[in-house]
């Protein structure tokens, strides 16, 4: 059951929270109004090598953040978990008094002994290996508008969901995907069965010119993407450098990911038949976008 403005009574000790953003479309930039922070230990399906301390966390629809909050360090007896992410993200309206507050924690005054500790080291998975990639793909995100510039629908690679599958990776292999966001929104990309590491985020220069070409011929190579993908680089945040299955695709950028269709802690493929029908999908996890229809089929083969 969902609840608006919930509250929770907590003791002065560490608590671990697994936060999933199950919103249709809203991004949350979480922070505590009394200065408490988060020890970020895991994202989506994988731990970090070591905890990352943060004062705020940006979580997109369907993203998961595993965090530890130490309420023993609070100088006040209550803390509000707040949000200040604009909607739509990143260029929409600012939050207001009503939607800027998410949850209230009432902190008991009594100090107590907390023997729990946050490990300095967590789990080290194999590092992403570019030389293992068997294929490079270009995945373009489009938004289409009416004559009065109102959005009508969104596609990936200029194709509807119903059109024949074009992404057919082999099980157990690794691919490089260059995700080109030609829209004005940030799209949390979710790839079923795949875990990936973000390698690089590069701004598109003269993006309108490049978009015009892509809308005509829908081919990143023929539109000379190397001529346009030469703007400033975005650093991958420390807590998002590990293996992910959702990542926020920045508008006007090319995000290069190394994608594995196998277990990340070994070279083994899946213990089930990943090639079975009806197959899988990859999509933007903003519900309105995936329904309209920023989603494509994904068919694994042997």
The per-residue pLDDT for range 199-215, each reduced to its tens digit, is: 999 999 999 999 999 99
Indicate if 130-298 has the same CATH topology as 7-111: yes
What are the domain boundaries of the chain? 7-111, 130-298
**pLDDT of 129 higher than 80:** yes
Sign of the C-alpha dihedral computed for residues 201, 202, 208 and 213 taken in this order: negative
Model confidence at 265, pLDDT cuts 50, 70, 90, reads confident
Q: Does domain 7-111 have CATH number 2.60.40.420?
A: yes
At residue 97, does pLDDT exceed 90?
no
Confidence of residue 180 (pLDDT cuts 50, 70, 90): very high
Q: What residues have CB less than 8 Å from 282, skipping those under 6 apart?
A: 156, 167, 189, 190, 191, 192, 194, 295, 296, 298
Write out pLDDT tens, residues 133-149.
Answer: 999 999 999 999 999 98
pLDDT for position 149: 86
Give the per-residue SS3 of 218-284: CCCCCCCHHHHEEEEECCCCHHHCCCECEEEECCCEEEEEEEECCCCCCCCCCCCCCCCCCCEEEEE
Mean pLDDT across the stretch 257-264? Answer: 93
Tens digits of per-residue pLDDT, 219-238?
999 999 999 999 999 999 99
- Give the distance from CA 297 to its chain's centroid: 19
Q: What mean pLDDT do residues 1-21 have?
A: 92
| CATH class of this structure's domain 130-298 | mainly beta
Indicate if the pLDDT at residue 87 is higher than 80: yes
pLDDT at 2 over 80: no
Query: 97 or 54: whose pLDDT is higher?
Result: 54
pLDDT in tens, 289-302: 999 999 999 999 99
* Residues above pLDDT 90, as percent of the chain: 91
Average pLDDT of 241-257?
97
* pLDDT at position 81: 97
Percent of the chain with pLDDT over 70: 99
- Distance in angstroms (rounded) separating the CA atoms of residues 102 and 90: 19
């Amino acid at each position: 059951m969902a609840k608006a403005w919930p509250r929770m009574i907590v003791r002065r000790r560490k608590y671990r929270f697994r936060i999933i953003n199950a919103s249709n479309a809203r991004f949350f930039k979480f922070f505590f109004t009394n200065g408490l922070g988060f020890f970020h230990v895991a994202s989506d399906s994988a731990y970090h090598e070591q905890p990352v301390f943060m004062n705020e966390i940006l979580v997109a629809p369907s993203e998961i953040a595993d965090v530890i909050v130490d309420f023993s360090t609070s100088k006040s007896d209550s803390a509000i978990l707040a949000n200040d992410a604009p909607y739509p993200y990143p260029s929409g309206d600012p939050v207001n008094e009503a939607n800027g507050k998410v949850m209230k924690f009432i902190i008991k005054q009594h100090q107590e002994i907390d023997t729990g500790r946050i490990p300095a080291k967590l789990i080290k998975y194999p590092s992403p290996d570019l030389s293992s990639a068997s294929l490079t793909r270009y995945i373009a995100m489009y938004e289409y508008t009416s004559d009065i510039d109102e959005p009508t629908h969104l596609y990936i690679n200029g194709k509807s969901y119903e059109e024949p599958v074009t992404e057919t990776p082999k099980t157990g292999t690794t691919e490089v995907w260059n995700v080109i966001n030609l829209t004005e929104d940030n799209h949390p990309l979710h790839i079923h069965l795949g875990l990936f590491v973000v390698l690089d985020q590069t701004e598109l220069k003269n993006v309108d010119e490049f978009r015009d070409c892509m809308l005509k011929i829908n081919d990143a190579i023929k539109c000379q993407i190397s001529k346009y993908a030469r703007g400033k680089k975005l650093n991958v945040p420390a807590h998002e450098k590990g293996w992910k299955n959702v990542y926020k695709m920045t508008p006007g950028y090319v995000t290069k990911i190394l994608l594995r269709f196998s277990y990340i802690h070994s070279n083994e493929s899946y213990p089930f038949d990943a090639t079975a029908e009806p197959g899988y999908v990859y999509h933007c996890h903003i519900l309105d976008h995936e329904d309209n229809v920023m989603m494509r089929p994904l068919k694994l083969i042997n």
